[in-house]
Amino acid sequence: MKSGLWQSVRTSFALNRPRNVEPVELVSTGALGPGRAAYRPSALLAPAAPSFIWGSLLVALLLNLLPAGPTAWVPDFLALVLVFWNVHQPRRVGIGAAFAAGLLMDVHNGALFGEHALAYTLLAYGAITLHRRMLWFPAGAQALHVLALLLLAQFVSMAVRLWVGGGFPVWTYFLSSVIGAAIWPLINWILLAPQRRPQERDETRPL
């Protein structure tokens, strides 16, 4: 069991590549240097339904509105879902949606109006900028990019609070970003589940 768990971790973080998966070479090996090539992910996904996209954002917003409040161990679910859809569907969920979601969080938390809006806007911008790069990595390696984006959003919120005379937070303030990055593979699996096509060939289907 331990060896199987370790193998799953290695595969998730791209520490090895399964032998039974044939990568698709996009450019010549010589163009990237000796021993290097670019590969296309093998999974074939169906288009995401707009109702599912906006429904998942609504669920994430409701999770953020739970009475637990902004405690250190509770991740920012809305930020995670915004990152996911700006990586996978940047033309449908963009900076405008992130700005509107940030305003809603400002109203709910009673924070300085525009604090979350600015943080979520930069978060969405970073996700859109990195979305092509992130899609080349498995979910475990993507979590490292997500951690950097979440920390950036928290640093922006902290800078806004310090600018208006707020106090410097304790180190546990950044714990929610670490936990959010840790559950990123789970968020990725849940939100991609409706888009996954059947792996086994069905003779009654044309594809």
pLDDT digit string, tens, across residues 129-180: 988 888 888 888 889 999 999 999 988 888 887 887 776 777 777 888 899 9
Three-state DSSP class for residue 179? helix
CB-neighbour burial class of residue 82 (10 A; exposed 0-12, middle 13-18, buried 19+): buried
Q: What is the pLDDT of residue 86?
A: 93
Q: Which of residues 35 and 74 earns the better pLDDT score?
A: 74
Residue 175 CB neighbours (<10 A) = 15
Chain mean position to CA 114: 22
Binned at pLDDT 50, 70 and 90, residue 206 comes out as: low
Binned at pLDDT 50, 70 and 90, residue 32 comes out as: very low
Q: At residue 124, what is the residue type?
A: A
Name the one residue in this structure whose structure tokens are 């990586």. Answer: 87
Binned at pLDDT 50, 70 and 90, residue 18 comes out as: very low
Length, in residues, of the chain: 207
Q: What is the pLDDT of residue 120?
A: 93
CB 162 within 8 A of CB 59: no
- pLDDT at position 107 over 80: yes
CB 145 within 8 A of CB 131: no
- Among the residue ranges 63-67, 76-80, 96-100, the one predicted with the least confidence is 63-67
Q: Which of residues 15 and 153 earns the better pLDDT score?
A: 153
d(C-alpha 8, C-alpha 95), whole Å: 34
- DSSP letter, residue 16: S
d(C-alpha 113, C-alpha 111), whole Å: 6
Closest by alpha carbon to 138, among 32, 25, 41? 41
The torsion angle over the Cα atoms of residues 55, 61, 63 and 69, rounded to 10 degrees, is 180
Share of the chain above pLDDT 90, in %: 28
Bridge partners of residue 45, in order along the sequence: 196
- Among the residue ranges 25-29, 62-66, 141-145, the one predicted with the least confidence is 25-29
- pLDDT at position 121 over 70: yes
- DSSP letter, residue 114: T
Chain mean position to CA 199: 24
Binned at pLDDT 50, 70 and 90, residue 125 comes out as: very high
